[in-house]
Every structure is written in structure tokens, then in C-alpha cells.
Chains A and B, each alone.
Chain A
């Protein structure tokens, strides 16, 4: 059952990894995949041309914090 679930997840696990072997260490030096979910337009530290709206993060954080604020207002630790 577990194996079936794990195998199901692997359909997209395709691509290449470049590794550096050095004195007992295995260090990943690069990876690429046609099935990659990494999007540099979104993740970039440079100008992203609207790919990610930083203002959206405010509401995301506020709603995530809602239950903590309610608990804190009652003098309880939310964590």
C-alpha cells in the first residue's frame, strides 16, 4: 500500500542531477528537469514583472495569524 503511494508520486521525478564527490562528501552541484516546478520568474530577487504580487502576502499572513491573534487577545499562548 505504502509502496503504491510512493510509486505514484514518482511519475514526475525525472531529470538530471550533477554531483560532486569529494573526500567522503556528496554535494549536489546542479539539477534540472522538464517536470520542474521551480519558476525563476516567480522566485527571482530581481524585477519579476508582476509574476508575484508582494502585496498579496499581507492578507496571507494576516489570515494565517488570525487564530493566534484571537488566542493572544484571550491571554492564551497560540502555539
Chain B
């Protein structure tokens, strides 16, 4: 199909990217390197190693990027009080430059000439991954199987697994939620299925991180959040690492029904899409950060920040990710 020798794949260990491993091996006749990142998606990573090994992958990278993700990507975004289109806390967007950066680092380390990802041709994530990759390594080749292959449904992917000897836990795969989901330490998102009707309220059992406000405790929970240089450093007097702190806020927020959002947003590729999000820790963080800024920032600085913020949010949602990935790669 082309002259690619080695490709680094952003590999979750799930159905789609498992099919991609085999598909790349068969169609590009190239060696596949897998990269699996822990950014707090709440899934075990070792099964991804076993599956990759079973498909003959020799170079397997599994990285715990949780602290780096929160410290170098999530917190800097919250310094700007970033909200996209008045609602969205950019939980998916902010994770992409970090993945792009690691893909390129691994490509350099293993001598790969291409990267690949499981983002579809309809979404923003392909744009984010690829802009980041091209900015960091202009000559890199990108293979996006969803834009090339004919496999368009879950059934066709499952059938491909059966005929191509791909190890999938079929019982688990079939029980899967009907929604297209993405999770990391900042949020979990849901798209597709019933949500494609913007009038329909999501079913209560869709939500995974938070109780409904109706089911939340009848008495309030108080927390104290300490900031230093615009970043949270302690909760209730206890110093915490960035990832630990965000995880804690997710837990206490979720237990109180905080952080649910149901929105229709404009994607960079042009379409409107409906998505539901749970961002308990981020929702608390935004409110708290604004409260400290209200006390400490000069009026004109605060107002300027508010004017810049929507632009910052749009940049982050599409292009500035490049700069973020570059900065991270440069150690800024």
C-alpha cells in the first residue's frame, strides 16, 4: 500500500485500535509499535500489553502520564478559566497534544516513519493529533484508518477480529455502553446513540462519575482549596499532587452531583454535535480559581483575561494544541 516501515499507534487496547494493529500489519506490511497512555481513563493497561503481544507487536510502550497531564496541560488551561462556547471545559481537547507529543517521541526513539490513531474522520481529534504531530515532526507520515477502511460498524469490526485472529474479549465487548465515550482525569464524555436526538434527555444510567442532583446528599459538603500561582496545591489543608488533587475533586464533586453538562457544540470540521460531559473536579476548580482571581487580580488584568479567554478556548479546541505540544516537548 505504501513504503512505510514502522508506525507508532496510539493504542487503547479496545476493539477499534486492536483492529487497527492488525489492519496496519496486513495493509501496510509494516511493523507496528503500540503506545498506551494512562491519563486517568480508569481502564487497566496491562490487558493492552497482552493483546499487543498476541498480535506480534515487539515494541510496546505503556506510560503513566497522569501527573504530567494534569500539571502541564489541565492546570495551565484552568489558569485562563477556559470554557469553550460558554459551556465546555475542553476535557477531550486538552489530552490530545500530550498524546501527540508522546507519539512523536516514540517515533523518534524507535525509528518509525509514521504514526497512526483511532480517531474518526468526522471529529476534532484527528485534527488535534495530526496538527500536533506535523508541528513536532514535519516529515512524519500519518495513517488514519477510519478515513481509509470500509469497516463502518461495530459488527464489521467484530467480524474483522474473528477473521483476522485478533484477541478481543467478546463478552465484554458486547456489553459495552451504546455511547461513544472518552475519559481522562478531567472528564468523561458521551456521544452518539440516543444523544443524536438533541431533544432527548440522557438516561440516568448513562452517567458514570456523578450521582444525579436528586440523589445527592441532603446536607452540603464543604471543601477548602488552596491556590499558589494560579494552580491548586492543597485540599482541606492537605498538600496533593496535581493528579491526586483532581482525582479527589472528581470524587467529592461527583458524590454531590456536580459537573454534569449536556451541550450541542460546534466542531472544527464544521458540524454541530451533541455531547454529555461529567467534569466534577474541573467545575469546582473553575469556580474556585475565579474566586481567588476576584480577590487578587487588578480589574483591567481580569477583564483582559476574560476577553482573551474565548480565543484561547477556540485555539485550544483546534490549533493552539500545536503550541502546547511544542512547549511540552521543549520542556516549557
Contact = CB atoms under 8 A, between A and B. Distances in A.
Contacts of B213: 23-24
Contacts of B257: 23-24
Name the prevailing secondary structure of the B interface residues: helix
Given A24-B258, A31-B295, A36-B296, A13 B221 contact: no
A3 B192 CA distance: 33
B308 A17 contact: no
A37 B216 CA distance: 36
B252 interface: yes
A7 B332 CA distance: 12
B301 interface: yes
A24 B256 contact: yes
A55 interface: no
Given A17-B288, A22-B256, A12 B296 contact: yes
B295 A38 contact: yes
Contacts of B311: 2
Interface stretch (B101-109, B114-122, B320-328): B320-328
A14 B227 contact: yes
B225 A17 contact: yes
Given A16-B226, A24-B260, A6 B79 contact: yes
A11 B220 contact: no
B224 A18 contact: yes
Nearest to B212: A24
Interface string A1-34: 1110111011111111111111111101101110
B292 A13 contact: yes
A25 B284 CA distance: 9
Name the residue in B257, B289, B295, B298 with the highest tally of chain A Cβ atoms < 10 Å from its Cβ.
B295
B202 interface: no
B305 A28 contact: no
A58 interface: no
A19 B226 contact: no
B283 interface: yes
B301 A19 contact: no
Given A14-B296, A21-B256, A9 B225 contact: no
A37 B130 CA distance: 44
A36 B293 CA distance: 9
Contacts of B64: none
B172 interface: no
Given A24-B216, A24-B257, A33 B312 contact: no
Contacts of B260: 24
Given A16-B225, A21-B253, A24-B213, A37 B296 contact: yes
Nearest to B221: A21
29 contacts: A1-B323, A2-B312, A3-B323, A5-B308, A6-B79, A6-B305, A12-B296, A13-B293, A14-B228, A15-B226, A15-B227, A15-B296, A16-B227, A17-B224, A17-B292, A18-B223, A19-B287, A20-B222, A21-B252, A21-B256, A22-B256, A23-B256, A24-B213, A28-B287, A31-B291, A31-B295, A33-B292, A36-B295, A37-B298
Given A2-B308, A2-B315, A13-B289, 18 more contacts: A1-B323, A12-B296, A12-B297, A13-B292, A14-B229, A16-B225, A16-B226, A16-B227, A19-B284, A20-B220, A20-B221, A21-B223, A21-B258, A23-B216, A23-B256, A24-B216, A24-B258, A37-B295
Interface of A: 1-3, 5-7, 9-26, 28-29, 31-33, 35-38
Query: Which 3 pairs across A and B sit closest by C-beta, in order of nearness?
Result: A10-B230, A24-B213, A21-B256
